[in-house]
Amino acid sequence: MTNETALPLYLRGRFAPVPKEHGAADLTVRGSLPSDLDGRYLRNGPNPLPGQDKGHWFTGPGMLHGIRLRGGRAEWYRNRWIRTRQLDGHPFIRADFTVDLAATPANTHVIRHADTVLALCEVGLPYWVTPELETVGPYDFGGRLTTAMTAHPKEDPVTGELHLFGAGFAPPYLTYHRVTADGLLLDSRPVEVPGPTMMHDFAVTEHHIVWMDLPVVFDPALAGSGGGMPYRWDEGYGARLGVMSRTPGSTDVQWYDVDPCYVFHVGNAYEDARGRVVLDAVRYDRAGFQHTWSDIGGSTGASGLVGVREPGHSQASSVLHRWTLDPATGRASESPLDDRDAEFPTHNETLTGRANRYLYTVSGDGIAKHDLTRHTSHAYETPGSRYAGEAVFVPAADGSGEDEGWLLSLVSNDDGEAGELLVLDATEMTVQAVVELPYPVPAGFHGSWLPEPVQRP
């Protein structure tokens, strides 16, 4: 019998992978689901095959979890592995350090753009999946995408364009791409950076792209050791943020030195009245990064994971932080926005690239709402051994305020009990409804609400 405590943290408790695919219909709902929630909530995350340990939380094969909501009912739940070349046993990094972009785990995010649902992971091509979670195959935008694709593309709410990038282990280390609202990739530009950093996220504003060139870098020696994630903190690399114009063809970047840190996830960015770029994101200092990286399988000697209350660890590993980049002075100012531990920041995506008042984060075992105008925050805490995942904001159909809508979050359990879909009123941060799922759902990464298309006469 397996000793549960001997397993890595990312394979036990609420992180424990499920051994098979399931489906269920007519789910039990506590409370009242809003009648205008008509669509699918999909969430992605790593789920190794039974008996498998890929060496790091980030590298397990992707599994989608989906719940169909309509007319105040939860019609179905299902989970499906994303059937990539990696799931079939093909290595992503070959012995000569070349890569198979179709051997990605596709385990990080799931989005819909131009009526195509894509499962994403930053080290390879996206995978096309159906709204019922079945895998179609790797997706390269008709042969135009020849790099990896970030797991965090940004869709401009005004133009409908999708902005994305690919990070590589060899030059060009960074390539920017732009996709039209109807799904045509028509703009690809190499962007000069000095080395292969782990650039997981980026930001857009109305007129700019914001890059994060930070000191977590690819290490070929770690790649050659087998398993895990071949990245480490490199104090000598430096830390800077870059601002690049969205004007077609532009590759000039104005760089701003910042205090050494790492950022997995951006909240939002925008241009203020003085023409400065404001970036809000979750910031890790070196100690915070090392604590987190160790527990999820990275090569360090530290321990401790955001949201896991380890003895002696009282300081937050990661906090919401703001950088203000001033093109007139060429300098960056920065300060924390909150002292809560935080990850997976989300916002009302109708304001992506524009000034927003609210951000939502996973904090401890609950979900926090941050008022960036009043500089306050408060949280809904999940009871018992339940832990909330990323909270996806869904605007109310008849709402006009930025926070009028709902937050959807998959809840996982440390004790192995079945999962739940939590629906919070985003204005009041109170429970609107809970959808009871018949099976456990492991902690995962990112998801999206896919509303049903509007039926036109």
Binding residues for Fe cation: 152, 200, 265, 446
Query: Which secondary-structure segment (H or E) carries 221?
Result: helix 220-224
Please report, as a single letter, which amino acid is at residue 38.
D
Strand locations in 55-158 (E) = 62-70, 73-81, 109-113, 116-120, 127-129, 135-138, 154-155
The angle at the Cα of 381, spanning 265 to 72, to the nearest 5 degrees, equals 90
Please report, as a single letter, which amino acid is at residue 77.
Y
3-class secondary-structure state, position 16: coil
- Any idea which residue has 């007519």 for tokens? 26
Give every CB contact of residue 401 below 8 A, 6+ residues apart in sequence: 427
Give every CB contact of residue 434 below 8 A, 6+ residues apart in sequence: 29, 30, 31, 420, 421, 422, 423
Distance CA 218, CA 231 (A): 4
Please name which of 27, 23, 113, 95 lies closest in space to residue 65, comparing C-alpha atoms: 23
SS3 content of the chain, % helix, strand, coil (to 5): 10, 40, 50
Cβ count near 329 (within 10 Å): 10
Give the strands of the sheet with 39-46, arranged side by side: 23-25, 73-81, 62-70, 39-46, 447-451
User: DSSP code of 236?
Assistant: G
Q: State whether the Cα torsion 81-85-88-91 is positive or negative.
A: negative
Known binding-site positions: 152, 200, 265, 446
Residue 131: cis peptide before it, omega within 30 degrees of 0: no
